[in-house]
Amino acid sequence: MPLLEVNGLQVEFKTHDAAVRAVNGVSFALEEGETLGIVGESGSGKSQTVLAMLGLLASNGRASGQALYRGENLLGMPAKALNRIRGNRLSIIFQDPMSSLNPYLTIERQMTEVLELHKNLTRREAKKRAISMLEAVRIPEAAHRIGQYPHELSGGMRQRVMIAMALLCEPDILFADEPTTALDVTVQAQVLQLLRDLQRDFGTSIVLITHDLGVVAGLCEKVMVMYGGRVMEQCDASTLFAKPSHPYTIGLLRALPRLDQEGGELAGIPGNPPNMAHPPAGCPFHERCADATAECGERAPALEAVGTHGLRACHRPADALITRYQEQSHV
């Protein structure tokens, strides 16, 4: 049994003028110790996919489908049972640590509270555990820092504290929603290295949300590319980088700076993601896709297996797209 198995997840928001289907039939499995990247531009449904599983949707949102954690469906689970799992077996870190840390409480207070609640530790034991976790995320002088308030720490350090807090109860799965976006490039690299180390040392499974395929390359074994609430392509990360088979994935890869092609032009994907209150008919990407045909505007392609490659949702032949990409990028 996979650690986490998501089947046909849908998320719908009620708004005054329309029902917004933010996530439309997402399915994936996560094995123990595995790292999955969820990639896509802004608004593609990445965050809502994860928030839905953790019961954290806004009040106008509703999730359906299945999200089985060790065989138990998280969707529709009573609040009490879900609370016990959340923050203990499943943890989440967000992009902006300041929005999740309480500015009025010391780091010690925020960390020990979690342990007292979920692990029944005494204040003293909890503090010891909290300090060792701060050391694990390489906060220098952890025993001193733990007495400080969030604003006394740098942005990179606050993000480390967030990660330490998320890992306190040794969760099975760490969901990280754009954990490095707000940080400068050097600190980004350090935080990613930290996640890699933690995964090695604690065997934590990670679901990493990012709009940056470069981040996926460094950390993830599997990747799921989302657009307009749907999965466009889903496969091993190494396959995705060597043989992308979906025009959207190819567009994202083209937008990545490449160290070996200095001065080369960076081609972003022209146009903007769709307004999910009024999504286009057919494939959500067809309006921006240079390869689209009439069929693409009429019928949304199903997510189907392509040989041993993985899964993709596209009407155009995979082989031709892969070959063209490889020729044009000289890989």
Contact characters 195-214, ligand ATP, x per CB under 6 A: ----------------x---
- Alpha carbon distance, N-terminus to C-terminus of the chain: 37
Q: Please state whether beta strands 35-39 and 205-210 pair in parallel, antiparallel, or not at all (unpaired).
A: parallel
3-state secondary structure of 33: coil
Rounded alpha-carbon distances, angstroms, from residue 267 to 186, 252, 254, 271, 331? 24, 9, 6, 12, 17
Q: For ligand ATP, which residue of 1, 16, 17, 42 counts as binding (CB under 6 A)?
A: 42
Biggest CA pair distance of the chain: 67
89 forms part of the interface with ligand ATP (CB under 6 A): no
CB atoms within 10 A of CB 179: 29
Query: Of 231 and 322, which has the nearer Cβ to ligand ATP?
Result: 231
Residue 293: Cβ-neighbour burial (10 angstroms; 0-12, 13-18, 19+): exposed
Q: For ligand ATP, which residue of 1, 16, 17, 58 counts as binding (CB under 6 A)?
A: 58
From the list Mg ion, ligand ATP, none, pick the one residue 321 interacts with, judged by a Cβ distance below 5 to 8 Å according to partner type: none
301 forms part of the interface with ligand ATP (CB under 6 A): no
CB of 49 to ligand ATP, least distance (A): 7
Contact positions with ligand ATP (CB under 6 A) in 229-288: 276
CB of 100 to ligand ATP, least distance (A): 15
60 forms part of the interface with ligand ATP (CB under 6 A): yes
188 forms part of the interface with ligand ATP (CB under 6 A): no
Contact 315, 306 (CB under 8 A): no
Task: Identify residue 263 by its one-letter amino acid code.
Answer: G
* Closest CA relative to residue 216, chosen from 197, 230, 231, 196: 196
Query: Of 43 and 310, which has the nearer Cβ to ligand ATP?
Result: 43
20 forms part of the interface with ligand ATP (CB under 6 A): yes
CB atoms within 10 A of CB 119: 14
From the list ligand ATP, Mg ion, none, pick the one residue 60 interacts with, judged by a Cβ distance below 5 to 8 Å according to partner type: ligand ATP
Residue 133, both tokens: 């976790």
Query: Of 61 and 297, which has the nearer Cβ to ligand ATP?
Result: 61
The residues that touch ligand ATP, with contacts defined as CB under 6 A, are 13, 15, 20, 22, 40, 42-48, 58, 60-61, 211, 276
